[in-house]
Amino acid sequence: MNKVKFIYNPFSGENSIVNDLDKIVDIHQRHGYSIVPYRISFEYELSKAFEDIDYTYKYILVAGGDGTVDNVVNHMKALNINLPIAVLPVGTANDFAKFLGIPQDVERACEQILNTQPRTVDLGKVNDKYFVNVASTGLFTDISQKTSVTLKNTMGKLAYYVKGIEQLPNFKKLKIKVSSKEIEYDGDMYLMLAFNGQTAGNLKFAYKAEVDDGYLDVIIIKAGTIKDMVALLIKMLRGEHLEEDAHNLIYFKTNKMYIECYEDIVTDIDGERGPDFPLTVECVKGGLKVLGYLND
């Protein structure tokens, strides 16, 4: 029987995956697959999940949010494992799974995954670390890192807004230099995001992003007046095209850029701490094989 490595985070979201374990095993057995589970915890390194991977494994199933998927992908790359992955979106942030069109219902998601063929999609990369959805820096980008697991599980997405309010006193201009063949920017900004996907926190910022075009969609929110920021925030919440009539915003596509910054700020990759500056940010075209993607 063909095997599937099932890596799950029991603490993701509201711990819902724990109640669906039998359902996941049952669906896969009916399709002729044997599930080999690995439970993520503080006691065991994620790398141990891949120790028995061989030709009998057909794909890796990941249950968790963007951070969990990100960690799995980085371990796979480090170990040169080229199996397709599939995602069950059960975390607090599931932007990458939504970009692929994976249903939130576990049974529907499993059926969709099992009835599709592998497809290559792009990956983002910052220095030596990969990301599946978004890399960011500037104000508010370390909210996920500062939000405790307990608070996330108790309050869900509301926890991020609570932490965001706490950071309002830190609202200040940040000096940054961005170099690419498409654009050169040397100035002040509040926030910068490089998207491999389209959304962050369910808000579609990078509406032009495609899953396999070989480019990252980059947004730089330049420092401006409070009035400008309020107007831009309203556009974000409405899901409007950000670069239209927005003189304090830069939106461009690139497959590689170099970023310098000497401010006391961190980078964030899918909710996890990213590398320190300077950064080489690039798109790895076709860098990942996925199952469950239906959109053209």
Segment 160-196, tens digit of pLDDT: 444 444 554 556 788 999 999 999 999 999 889 999 9
Per residue in 216-270, pLDDT (tens digit) is 999 998 887 666 766 666 666 666 666 655 678 899 999 999 999 988 888 999 9
Q: Which CATH number goes with the domain that contains 38?
A: 3.40.50.10330
Which of these three, 115, 141, 176, is where a domain ends? 115
Per residue in 54-77, pLDDT (tens digit) is 999 999 999 988 989 999 999 999
Contact 277, 261 (CB under 8 A): yes
Number of folded domains in the chain?
2
CA distance readout (Å), 189 to 99, 223, 261: 27, 4, 11
Residue 190 confidence (pLDDT): 86
Which domain, by its residues, includes 154? 129-285
Task: Return the beta strands (E) in 54-133 as ranges.
Answer: 57-64, 85-89, 119-126, 129-131
Confidence of residue 206 (pLDDT cuts 50, 70, 90): confident
Whether residue 121 is contained in a domain is answered as no
Indicate whether 131 pLDDT > 50: yes
Q: Does 271 lie in the same domain as 184? A: yes
Q: Does 133 lie in the same domain as 57? A: no
Per residue in 19-45, pLDDT (tens digit) is 899 999 999 999 999 999 999 988 888
**CA atoms in the 13 A half-sphere facing the CB of 252:** 14
Q: Does 22 lie in the same domain as 157? A: no
Indicate the pTM of the whole model. Answer: 0.86
Q: Does 203 lie in the same domain as 75? A: no
Residue 13 confidence (pLDDT): 63
Q: Does 268 lie in the same domain as 134? A: yes
Q: Does 168 lie in the same domain as 235? A: yes
Residues 6 or more apart whose CB falls under 8 angstroms from that of 106 comprise 17, 20, 23, 24, 88, 90
Which of these three, 67, 92, 115, is where a domain ends? 115
Residue 114 confidence (pLDDT): 97
Q: Does 150 lie in the same domain as 88? A: no
Q: Does 141 lie in the same domain as 277? A: yes
Percent of the chain predicted with pLDDT > 70: 80
Note the Cα 58 to chain centre separation in Å.
23
Residue 15 confidence (pLDDT): 66
